[in-house]
Structure 1
Amino acid sequence: MESVESQQISIGQILAILRKHIGLIFASTFIVTLLAAFMTFFVMTPKYSATTQILVNRKLSDDMAGAQLQQTQADVQMISTYKDIITSPTVLKTVNTKLQGQPGYEKGDVDSLKGSLSVNSQQNSQVFSITAKSTNPNTAAKMANETATTFKNKVVKIMSINNVSIVSKATADDQPVSPRTKLNIAAGLVIGLLLGIGLAFLREFSDRTVTSEEFLTDELGLKGLGIISEINERDIRRKITPKLNVSSNENDGQSRMRRRV
């Protein structure tokens, strides 16, 4: 029973603290959410992505047709090698040169171009995709297509592969993939709310003011002699002003009587 009562008291105290600092919590939530929206719409640069798909399938001679299954499995296992070739300087240097002058593309080193590309594949599939990101949708599509074409030309010489097919070319998509507007605003809302709650408890626990009689009697073991209500300054003026007016009127009357005498 005691644990339940103490738990109810603690929950009640928490709710009381939240109600007391509801203005602070609301202000923190509003400000952080507004800041997240401002960063999303006016600071962060939108980025667009485009994807092209490639199939690498080495042809076999007629007398080796029975080994087709083993060859297919070997091609799937080779996809990791193809990924390394795509992101190698041998391919990216050529792509970097071809992309010069494209809108939204700044000439940089191979590492910066590599950071804009990602190579993905599905399990047990000979098809893998190249995804490029850029601040311009057309540049993103050209980046993906140039990378696929350059890989197709280079891998023939590097690994003597004679059958590289571009399954689907990348096309420009006007819908940005980042920043994620709804996600950023939702994150700002949650962060602002948690920050406001944290500040509310921080202010409450750092406040050394005695706010309840129970703290004096239960915590400090003191005896309460009484409670003095807080009087507003406006109420004090209302009570004092009539008395001052009466006193001033009496003094004026007495001074007049003295003059008559």
Structure 2
Amino acid sequence: MVIEMGNGRKNNEIEIDLVEVLHILLERIWLILGMGLFLALVCFIFSKFVLTPTYESTTKIYILNKTGETSVTYSDVQMGTQLTKDYAELINSRYVLEEVIQKLGLETEYRNLRKQVRVATPADTRIVSITVEDIEPARAMQTANCICEVASSHIQNVMDIEAVNVVEPANTPTVKASPSVTKWTLLGGIAGVLIICISIFMQYAMDDTIKSSEDVEKYLGLSTLALIPIVSDGDKAKVKGRPKKVKRK
């Protein structure tokens, strides 16, 4: 694999041996696994003990349009599905959410509460689900039910709807919605492995030193005639410390 790097008139080529890169990664497999486990542990502790858990409570309503017929046709369902987008905007409107804040005495603002509310419409239905996310399970349930009550009245007045029926009231959540400790731990481990692998790869790609006679022949195209061993300071000291032999006459 050859990577060309152009810079003006100078063109530099970096030749990368994928087999050699794989060999280097395998040699440092314990370092890679250690980094992955370390970041996974950090993310586990952070998501488990640092991040504030949030809970979600959902209520569902069914919106019935005014019609003279008792039966509901497929076109009615399609029309109702299209109108659910309008219902979602009305549910998230300032009028509804500010009235909810006032009724429950919430210490928050309209913008903040809107971020906590999620409105969804299942396909081919006229059912609208209202989900509220909060750090307090009981408050999430109370807010969802209050939004359902206020929004039902507001939708009937604005859209001239026959009735808005509660399909499923909100309940107190017992399981936290976020953060997911498993997801955080898994992502942390993957991030740790990727970071150390990229670091090792960059170190290999930028290293242009000659390490062996094979590198001389490979990169310079020259034949090696002889090898000169490198003598360390310790070896020099050993050589100097050896007693000289005295020739006997």
TM-score, normalising length: structure 1: 0.76
Give the equivalent residue in structure 1 for 2:164: 164
Match runs of 1:93-108 below 5 Å: 93-101=98-106, 107-108=107-108
Query: Whose strand fraction is larger, Structure 1's or Structure 2's?
Result: 2
Match of 2:87 in 1: 82
Cα separation, 2, equivalents of 1:171 and 1:223: 80
Partners of 1:49 and 1:66 in 2: CA distance: 36
How far apart are the structure 1 equivalents of 2:70 and 2:170? Answer: 35
| Displacement of 1:149 | 0.6
Q: Deviations over 1:54-73 (max 9, x none)?
A: 0111354xxx3267435554
The equivalent residue for 1:187 is: 187
Structure 1 residue 32 displacement after superposition = 2.3
Q: How many residues align?
A: 230
Per-residue CA deviation, residues 162-208 of structure 1 (Å, 9 max, x unaligned), is 31111111111121111111111111111111111100011222334
Residue in 2 that maps onto 1:51: 58
Divergent runs of 4+, >4 A:
70-73, 228-234, 237-242
Higher helix share: 1
- Provide the rounded CA distance (Å) in 1 between the counterparts of 2:214 and 2:239: 33
For the residues of structure 2 that align with 1:135 and 1:175, how far apart are their CA atoms?
A: 12
Tell me, yes or no, if the aligned pair for 1:92 and 1:110 is still in contact at 8 Å: yes
Q: Which amino acid aligns with 1:74?
A: M
Cα offset, 1:43, TM superposition: 2.6
RMSD: 2.8
Who is 2:114 aligned against?
114
1:80, CA displacement in angstroms?
Answer: 1.4
Q: Do the aligned partners of residues 232 and 18 (structure 1) sit closer, same or farther apart at CA in structure 2, a change above 3 Å counting?
A: farther
Which residue identity does 1:93 align to in structure 2? E
For 2:229 and 2:23, the matched residues in 1 are separated by 21
Against the structure 1 CA distance between its residues 68 and 23, is the aligned structure 2 distance closer, same or farther, given a 3 Å change threshold? Answer: closer
Give me the TM-score of the superposition, normalised by structure 2.
0.80
**Displacement of 1:209:** 3.0
User: Which blocks of at least 5 consecutive residues in structure 1 are unaligned?
Assistant: 1-8, 102-106, 251-261
Partner of 1:243: 242
Q: For residues 127 and 98 of structure 1, what CA distance do their matches in structure 2 show?
A: 25
Residue identity opposite 1:29 in structure 2 = G
One-letter identity of the residue aligned with 2:57: A
Mapped to 2, the partners of 1:228 and 1:99 lie a distance apart of: 85
Q: Distance in 2 between matches of 1:20 and 1:165?
A: 65
Identity in percent: 25
